Structure 1
Amino acid sequence: MLTWDLLNLMWIACGLFVAGVLEAFLWKTPPFQLLNFPVQKEWFGENKKWRGLISLPLTFMVSVFGFQFLESLAGINPDFPIHFQDFKAVEFGLLTGLVFNLSELPNSYIKRRLNIAPGEEANIITYLFDHIDSTYGVLILWYFYFHFPLHFISVGLIATPLLFMGATWLRKRLGLK
């Protein structure tokens, strides 16, 4: 079950990854250039912008539609407890994208109060919180609102921060961060 939960988690995470790629293109469009200003600079810093709060929910919704289509073409793995087809794309996409972004705000607020610069890894504690805030927020949503199985969420509590740390390491190695 652990292996299937991990593979299933990576499948669902692919949807968020695709949404993040789509988001980068969306930010370059004129409507999202208008939203390229901080939500609340004094509280959250320069990097938490309105365009991000709005774009990730939209792009994840589109991504969910795309992954539902892929599942319908290829069939769904019966060993996975979670499938994109299990959800209404608009509801699942918008809520997950919004909660992902909103879950970063408390961490940003605390870091600004401690005079830690955005993206700065001051110590192991801030490094860990930078990699668990969004993912844990989404896992909480998935468990309580979408009723994902507890065994899946339990795997996610360990795996998602590790996946996020690996992605951060890779982006740094590639010069993307």
Structure 2
Amino acid sequence: MLWPLTSTRDLSLLEAIPELNPLRCALFLILGFILAGSAQTWWFKSPRSARFALPLDGGRTFRGRRLFGANKTWKGFVVMVPAAMLAFALLGATVRALPPLGEGLWPLTSLQYALLGGCAALGFMLGELPNSFMKRQLGIAPGSAPASAWGRWLCFTIDRLDSIIGLLLVVSLLVPLSWQAWLFVLGVGPAIHWLFNVALYVLGVKARPA
């Protein structure tokens, strides 16, 4: 774990962890991913990202259908992970320099915040893959929506939540994260995620704002 536990042997884990503020922890995660997502949006629009547009599945198939499809490429990974590391490190340095802002947050070093951001971004990106795999197996083409109304609604909902659940799971493995923080991120995160998708659609990066 990233948590810097005390070296005092007779101090319990509960006593070693200061009281965390669920809202502040959630806002830290959201702000960190807004910064990282902004960098990713700029990167996707850059012609330089095209060289990394290599499919994650390498063209491999299962039951005659692609594992993830052509839309899941390496170009998201090569920027999102380092961008999240930098964003978390900068935010961590800021809250350490301004103690009132850091109240209720994890007392990590800048390096630990950077590692937390990188791992969270990895969880965010990997969280989309099971959903992509299932859609390919159901015959839904990359960038397309199901024909039925309920199918479109279901896919829209899952598309908003899968990556966020992935990042929350990874963060929860590394630092304490309360259920209240989970609920706040799950409540606000999908709307922010959708807005970034809309921005990518407007920029011509995505075929549809979903």
Tell me the TM-score normalised to structure 2 length.
Answer: 0.67
More helix by share: 1
Give, as a single letter, the amino acid of the residue that structure 2 aligns with 1:125: L
Percent identity at matched positions?
21
2:143, 2:99 → 1: CA distance? 40
Distance 2:40 2:192 in 1: 20
Moved over 6 A (4+): none
Tell me the residue number matched to 1:130: 159
In structure 1, the gaps of 5 or more residues are none
| Structure 1 position 22 matched with structure 2 position 22 | no
Matched, 1:12 2:29: yes
SS in 2 for 1:59: helix
Aligned length: 171
Trace 1:2-81 onto structure 2 (pairs within 5 A).
5-6=22-23, 8-26=25-43, 28=46, 30=48, 32-40=49-57, 41=59, 42-77=66-101, 80-81=104-105
Q: Is this contact kept in 1: 2:95–2:102, CA < 8 A?
A: no
Contact 1:38 1:50 in 2 (8 A): yes
Please point out which of 174, 181, 194 is paired with 1:152: 181
How large is the RMSD of aligned CA atoms in angstroms?
3.0
Distance 1:131 1:84, change over 3 A: farther
Name the amino acid aligned to 1:11.
F
TM-score using structure 1 length: 0.77
Shift of 1:57: 0.8
1: CA distance between counterparts of 2:69 and 2:185? 29
Are 1:45 and 1:118, in contact at CA under 8 Å, matched by a contact in 2? yes
Question: What is the identity, as a one-letter code, of the residue corresponding to 1:127?
Answer: F
Report the counterpart of residue 175 of structure 1 in structure 2: 202
Q: What displacement does 1:69 show?
A: 2.9
Where structure 2 has 5 or more consecutive residues not aligned to the other structure, the ranges are 1-20, 60-65, 147-151, 204-208
Flag the structure with larger Rg: 2
User: In structure 2, how many angstroms separate the alpha carbons of the residues matched to 1:20 and 1:38?
Assistant: 20
Q: 1:171: how far off?
A: 3.5
